[in-house]
Structure 1
Amino acid sequence: MSGYFALLRDPVVARPFVSSVVARIPIATAPLGLVLLVRSARDNYTLAGIVTGLFAVGLAVGSPLWGRAMDRLGQPRVLVPAASVSGLLLLLLTGATVWTAVPGVVLPVLALLAGAAFPPLSPAMRSTWRVVVTEERRRRRGYALDAAAVETIFVGGPLLLSVLLLLGVAPLPLLVTVVLLVGGTLAYCRSEGARRVVPHPVPEHAHAGAALLRSGGFVLLMAVMAVMSVGFGILDVSMAGLAEHLLGSADRLGLLFAPIAGGSALGGLLYGSRDWRSPDRRRLLVTLTVFGLLLFAVAAGAGEGVPLPVLLVVLFATGLFISPNLIAAQGLVDLLAPDHRLGEAQAWLSTAITAGAAVGNAVAGVLLDVAGARTALTVAASAVLAAAVVCAVAQRSWAARHRPALAVH
């Protein structure tokens, strides 16, 4: 851990990182807060699902556009207006939800717009890491630290929401979400590290034919991560069904979710602390394959007669391979995208993951109703292994783009 502590002792690194973590907490609290508020104020789960789903759609659509704008205009000129607009729309959505005279059809529209305006903070921080940490080994640790922080957000965000709900004020979680989003983004943009990131001018020879989505290697990577995220989305929802099946109540979901989330955070830190000789493309294939095989073990453990401690150990082992997938994929994005499109490219990665997880969430609901948690987990494992197959097919395409200067030795 000494390498991570050394990073955090540097204020040029620590200030943008910590403020970006604060600003990204709403990624976990906003969707859940929307579900709870709409259910409470409108007593309508269907409407709550539509509102949350369209927020995710907006997030997926808006992120690449903001990423491209950051590449051309710089981070503060994009992130501050985006966070302000998204925060304002979330406030309007909160008020419209509580004021029941507002037609229900207005809520999904506001949610879609709020998601579309949400600032791409993870791609922004990725760019900042590249600027404030020049040594490759330390930068790789920074990427791992960032991935572990995201896993902590998805555990700590719902916990924060639960504490706020104890105060008995239904709109409070979303109000706090807005404060974290706008305040964290402003603090990030004011940090010295973030201000060091300069926009990349578009080369004169750049044209539509050089678009990211016309690059076969880049599209293959987006496909790999989207299919993997389908499996992850199914896993996420299946944990609720598994908790109900094994523990008697979906409210005890945390007991099953904690080991897999904790394993993912630890796996990211361990992965970032190693000096790897193999390229990112090969490591991604390995981590995807092991992740899928362990998910099959989780599905087997969902049956009757498997001791709960054994299942928890398998969940923890499975989690160890989640963050390394993301870190390796981010490294491949940097390899496959031109320098003047790196922010947009990382935003496309976020979109692929968000869209895949959303599909997985929807599929999991059907599978749980029709066949139960064990079948849902088996499908999740199959999706991850399907992503590994695509990853294997893409190896030759990615190898052709290998740049020795970017390799990790």
Structure 2
Amino acid sequence: MSGYFALLRDPVVARPFVASVVARIPIATAPLGLVLLVRTARDNYTLAGIVTGLFAVGLAVGSPLWGRAMDRIGQPRVLIPAASVSGLFLLLLTGATVWTAVPAAVLPVLAVLAGAAFPPLSPAMRSTWRVVVTSERGRRRGYALDAAAVETIFVGGPLLLSVLLLLGVAPLPLLVTVVLLVGGTLVYARSPGARRVRPQPVGAGGHGAGAALLHSPGFVLLLTVMAVMSVGFGILDVSMAGLAEHLLGSADRLGVLFAPIAGGSAIGGLLYGSRDWRSPDRRRLLVTLTLFGSLLFTVAFAAGEGIPLVVLLVVLFFTGLFISPNLIAAQGLVDLLAPGHRLGEAQAWLSTAITAGAAVGNAVAGILLDLAGARTALGVAATAVVSAAAVCLLAQRTWAARQSDPVPVH
């Protein structure tokens, strides 16, 4: 861990990183907070699902646009206005939900606008790591630290929400979410580390290359791999709730099952980042995807009747070890496949692929749970991840060629 502590002792590194973590807590608290508030104020689960789903749709659509804007005009000019606008729409959505005289049809509109304005903080922090950490080894540790922090967010966010709900003020979780989003983004954007990131010149090819990213077979293959993997991850998330209800008697005890896999992912990311790897990112991604999918099949087996709960928890932990390394390897491939002046947008497209895949997985999981139960849903999740590994295998030659021939600038 000494390498990670060395990074965090440098204020130029620590300040933007900590601020970005705070600003990204709303990624976990906003959707869940919306579900709980709409359910409480409007007593309508269907409306809650629509509002949360459209928030995710807006997030997926807006992220690449903000990422491209960051590449062109810099981070502070994009992040501060985006966070402010997203926070404003979240406040309006909170007020419109509580004030029941507002028509229900208004809520989905405000939700999609809040999601579309949400600032792309993960791509932004990825760019900052490249600037404030000069050594390749230190940068890789920074990426691993960031991935571990994201896993912590998805565990800590719901816990924070639970504490706030104990105070009995239904809108409070979303109000705190807005404060974290806007305040964390302001601190991040004003930090010396983030201000070191400068827009890169387009180069001799002209202005854009907007189409170059999505016209690159290697880049599209990477988005496909991560989207298919995320379908499996989305199914896994919802299946865990069904599994908790089946094995533990209540979906409210989801944390018992989610903690080992999330903890394993955080530890796996830190272990991955501490190693000096000789193999390229493309091969490591193939290995981690294959192991992740294979272990998910084991999770489905361990969830059967008569299997001790402790066995399932151990398998979940080892499965989690390979989640964060997938993301770290994929982000490394983005840096190789995208032109230098479009890295922010490229990383945002990766986030969009992951978000969209997970949203599809969430929807599919609900159907699977109703029709066949949690074990079948887990088996389908494993199949999706193994399918992603198969696409990854087919993409190896294309990626190997693109490493020496980056995406052209048109």
What is aligned with 1:189? 189
1:170 and 2:170 are equivalent in the alignment = yes
What is aligned with 2:32? 32
What is aligned with 1:323? 324
The aligned length equals 405
| CA–CA distance in structure 2, aligned partners of residues 180 and 249 of structure 1 | 31
Amino acid paired to 1:269:
L
SS of equivalent to 1:278: coil
What is aligned with 1:368? 369
Alpha-carbon deviation of 1:264?
A: 0.2
What is aligned with 2:10? 10
Residues 353-392 of structure 1: CA deviation (Å, up to 9, x unaligned)? 0000000000000000000000000000000000000000
1:221 and 2:234 are equivalent in the alignment = no
Change over 3 Å in CA distance of 1:209–1:132 after alignment to 2: closer
Residues 278-308 of structure 1: CA deviation (Å, up to 9, x unaligned)? 0000000000000000000000011101000
Change over 3 Å in CA distance of 1:209–1:71 after alignment to 2: closer
Amino acid paired to 2:82:
A
Alpha-carbon deviation of 1:403?
A: 4.4
| CA–CA distance in structure 2, aligned partners of residues 363 and 289 of structure 1 | 22
| CA–CA distance in structure 2, aligned partners of residues 209 and 125 of structure 1 | 21
What is aligned with 1:103? 103
Residues 151-174 of structure 1: CA deviation (Å, up to 9, x unaligned)? 000000000000000000000000
What is aligned with 1:65? 65
What is aligned with 1:199? 199
Alignment of 1:216-255 (within 5 A): 216-255=217-256
What is aligned with 1:256? 257
TM-score, with length taken from structure 1: 0.98
Residues 4-47 of structure 1: CA deviation (Å, up to 9, x unaligned)? 00000000000000000000000000000000000000000000
1:46 and 2:46 are equivalent in the alignment = yes
| CA–CA distance in structure 1, aligned partners of residues 211 and 31 of structure 2 | 35
| CA–CA distance in structure 2, aligned partners of residues 404 and 306 of structure 1 | 51
SS of equivalent to 2:119: coil
What is aligned with 1:269? 270
SS of equivalent to 2:324: helix
- RMSD of aligned C-alpha atoms? 1.1
Alpha-carbon deviation of 1:203?
A: 2.5
What is aligned with 1:131? 131
What is aligned with 1:303? 304
Alpha-carbon deviation of 1:402?
A: 2.0
Amino acid paired to 1:301:
A
Alpha-carbon deviation of 1:204?
A: 3.9
| CA–CA distance in structure 1, aligned partners of residues 405 and 277 of structure 2 | 14
Residues 22-78 of structure 1: CA deviation (Å, up to 9, x unaligned)? 000000000000000000000000000000000000000000000000000000000
| CA–CA distance in structure 2, aligned partners of residues 89 and 210 of structure 1 | 30
Alpha-carbon deviation of 1:404?
A: 11
| CA–CA distance in structure 2, aligned partners of residues 401 and 115 of structure 1 | 33
What is aligned with 1:388? 389
SS of equivalent to 2:403: coil
| CA–CA distance in structure 2, aligned partners of residues 215 and 21 of structure 1 | 32
1:140 and 2:140 are equivalent in the alignment = yes
Residues 322-377 of structure 1: CA deviation (Å, up to 9, x unaligned)? 00000000000000000000000000000000000000000000000000000000
| CA–CA distance in structure 2, aligned partners of residues 319 and 4 of structure 1 | 20
Residues 124-161 of structure 1: CA deviation (Å, up to 9, x unaligned)? 00000000001000000000000000000000000000
* Structure 2: runs of 5+ lacking an equivalent: none
Identity, % of aligned pairs? 88
* Structure 1: runs of 5+ lacking an equivalent: none
| CA–CA distance in structure 1, aligned partners of residues 28 and 392 of structure 2 | 28
Alpha-carbon deviation of 1:401?
A: 1.7
Task: Tell me which stretches of 4 or more aligned residues in structure 1 moved more than 4 Å.
Answer: 207-210
What is aligned with 1:280? 281
| CA–CA distance in structure 1, aligned partners of residues 368 and 323 of structure 2 | 23
Alignment of 1:84-123 (within 5 A): 84-123=84-123
| CA–CA distance in structure 2, aligned partners of residues 403 and 25 of structure 1 | 37
Amino acid paired to 2:384:
A
Amino acid paired to 2:151:
E
Change over 3 Å in CA distance of 1:404–1:340 after alignment to 2: closer
Alpha-carbon deviation of 1:210?
A: 5.4
| CA–CA distance in structure 1, aligned partners of residues 341 and 405 of structure 2 | 19
Alpha-carbon deviation of 1:205?
A: 1.1
What is aligned with 2:150? 150
SS of equivalent to 1:305: coil
| CA–CA distance in structure 2, aligned partners of residues 25 and 210 of structure 1 | 32
TM-score, with length taken from structure 2: 0.98
Amino acid paired to 1:326:
L
Residues 214-246 of structure 1: CA deviation (Å, up to 9, x unaligned)? 000000000000000000000000000000111
| CA–CA distance in structure 2, aligned partners of residues 176 and 101 of structure 1 | 24
| CA–CA distance in structure 1, aligned partners of residues 120 and 228 of structure 2 | 22
Amino acid paired to 1:315:
L
